[in-house]
Structures are given as structure tokens and as C-alpha cells.
Amino acid sequence: MRSSGVFAAVLACLAAGCSSSAGLEDLVPRPSMETTSAIGPRPDVPVREVASTVSADAGFPVGAPQIEALAGSEPSGGGNTARPALDMLAAIPMAKPSAPPARRGVVHERRFRDAHPINFGKRSPKHLAVHGVDVSRWQGDIDWNKLRRQGANFVFIKATDGGDHLDPMFRENWRDAAQAGLKRGAYHFFYWCRTASSQADWFIRNVPKVPGALPPVLDVEWNHQSSCKRNPSRATVLEKMQVFMDRLERHYGQRPIIYTSPDFYADNLKGAFKDYPFWLRSTAEHPSKVYGDRDWVFWQYSGSGLSHGVTGRIDLNVFNGTESDWWRWLNRHSHGGSLIVADAD
């Protein structure tokens, strides 16, 4: 952004009485350059446009435009050119989502392979019943039916990061995963150079509130490849996370899940948020050896999974409990969880 544009924005902010928490930081756009896949971008996966018209069954407005900030770019002329597009999206009424069938479904046995298998000993994830995956644009086109038959019973789908970036595959992945019968949730990668409230609003704009959805996920970790070089204090980290999660919980009616990595957890989260569900990354040892006595619901145990239905590698995850525990957890925590009953396919 040109300095003249910044100066004009500062004057406008001062005249309007901007608050310290939502003033200059929001006026100066900082496009996010985060990549959230554990394996990062792959040159063999082409980035393509997703069709702008999607089924109302997915919970998106029919005909809504696909909006994605260009990573690393700034608007010309000193203005925020993304704002009119965001306002247009916010003004489109959301289509009424259709309720999923009230069926419990089938848990598919894990058949994944691993390019770099780890011996976790007696506490191996293979001894747990309900496995799943997480995906983003870097997995490209996915055959969800094949992926489910390989043991993907649930999926967390990259939706947003920062306050201006929407994963270009999110809408398609969100729709197709549900059609294949996976329990689906969306995650947001937190960007430490943006306010928590603006990031929560961006997530809410783009992730539908639909029956059967898993709780939203806040992904917090250090990313040293990011254009944002801030490593805020622990107190600031916890405050920002609380603001974000409170806003999502009010909107979706579900307590968000916290995803994190060992280094970020050691720096910020040890002993914090004891009443929140955790999804822990631990690809070399059991979570108990990395995170101590922290309770967890999901464990990301591999970033090098291999499966039919996906070209290349995919993150592998597991639910902490039995199959019966899984259905009880869904009834308590999925959106409209009471729809999930004890019928079988």
C-alpha cells in the first residue's frame, strides 16, 4: 500500500475514533501468505478456479462468488479493493441448509499406508477405531468415496486463514465430503498480524452453519515462512484466541476445537484452555509423551499418509475413543447432534 493511502486511512480512523484493537490494524490490509498443510504446496498440484455456483445443499449461497486474496499482493491506489467484494458476499442471503439424514452410519476400517511409518508401540493409533484426515488445496482433486472406503470417517477441511484468504478448494471439498458420507468440520489458520475479531468474522462469512457439522477448529502454531514475523507474548496469544473462539461459539453454538503443534503448545498453551477440546499434532511419539497430561479428542499422527483417492500425501488423524465413544461425542458436539441416532447403514 502506498504511504499516501496509509496516511489518508490514519486520518479517517482518527476522525471516526477507531479503537486500539480494531483500528489501524484493520485499515492496513496484510494479505496472508500462510500455508497450512503439513507437507506444504506441491508443484504438481495445479491451483484452479472452483465453480462459483455451488449446491444450496452445501449450505452456501447459490451463485456466491469465490473470493481469495492474492498472497503477497497489495491493492493499488492506496485503497482496500477487497472490501466491496466482501460486502457483496456478506449481503447475499444464505440458503437454508438441508438436514442430513438421521443415520449413524458405518465406521470404515483404517486402510491407509504411510510413506514414513512410525512405531508408536503399544499406544499406536492403529489400535483406535475411528480414523480421519485433514485436507487443504494442496491435496488437489479428491475422490471422496475412495478416501472414505480407505478409512476416512471424518475430515477437517482448510477454510480460511488471516482475515482475507479463503482456500480455493474449500467449497468443493465441503460439499463433496458430505456427499460421500464423511463427518466434516472446517479449520482456520490464525494469523498473528490481524485482529482476532476480523479473522472470526471472515471465517463466519465463509463457513456455513449446517446440521451435522463438526465443531470449528482454530489452528494455532508458529509459521516461520509467514510474511507475518510477529511472535506475540503468551498473554496476547491467549487473549486473541479467546476473542476468536468466543465469537465462533456464539455463532455456531459449538465450542471450538484447538489444533496445535508441540513448540507452540510449550510456548503458550500448557495449562491453558482446560475446558476446550484439543486436536494435537504428534508425528513421532504418542501425545502423552509430548503434551503431558493434556486431554485430547483428535490426534494428527502422520503428515505422510498415502491413500486411494488422493494423489500424493495426506495428513492422518484418529479419534480418542471407541466407536461407541465416537457416536456419543458426535451427539454432544456436532451441530444438531441429536440428529445422529443409532441406526446403521
Gap between the Cα atoms of 123 and 113, Å rounded: 18
Catalytic residue among 201, 221, 246, 323: 221
Query: Based on the structure, what is the number of domains in the chain?
Result: 1
User: Which pLDDT does position 40 carry in this prediction?
Assistant: 53
Instruction: Let me know how many helices (H) and strands (E) the chain has, helices first.
Output: 10, 10
Low-confidence residues of the chain, pLDDT below 50? Answer: 1-39, 42-57, 61-103, 339-345
- Total-model pTM: 0.73
Nearest to 106 by CA among 142, 175, 154, 176: 154
Gap between the Cα atoms of 276 and 331, Å rounded: 17
Question: What tens digit of pLDDT does each residue of 225-270 get?
Answer: 778 878 899 999 999 999 999 999 999 999 999 999 999 999 999 9
User: Which pLDDT does position 167 carry in this prediction?
Assistant: 98
* Domain membership flag for residue 12: no
Catalytic residue among 26, 34, 134, 315: 134
SS (H, E, C) 45-59: CCCCCCCCCCCHHHC
Gap between the Cα atoms of 330 and 184, Å rounded: 11
Return left, alpha or beta for 63; rule: phi > 0 is left, psi -120 to 50 is alpha, else beta: left
* Domain membership flag for residue 294: yes
**Do the Cβ atoms of 243 and 196 come closer than 8 Å?**
yes
User: Which pLDDT does position 331 carry in this prediction?
Assistant: 96
* Domain membership flag for residue 49: no
H/E run at residue 323: helix 323-333
* Domain membership flag for residue 93: no
Nearest to 293 by CA among 270, 319, 264, 268: 270
Residue 219's domain is classified under what CATH number?
3.20.20.80
Catalytic annotation on 285? no
Which residue stretches of 3-119 are H helix?
A: 3-16, 24-27, 82-91
Give the structural domain span for 323.
113-339
116: buried, middle or exposed (CB in 10 Å: 19+, 13-18, 0-12)?
Answer: exposed
* Domain membership flag for residue 224: yes
* Domain membership flag for residue 92: no
User: Which pLDDT does position 73 carry in this prediction?
Assistant: 31
Q: Which residue has the cell 469465490?
A: 66
The pairing of strands 183-189 and 154-161 is parallel
* Domain membership flag for residue 252: yes
* Domain membership flag for residue 68: no
Catalytic annotation on 263? no
List of residues 6+ apart from 101 with CB closer than 8 A: none
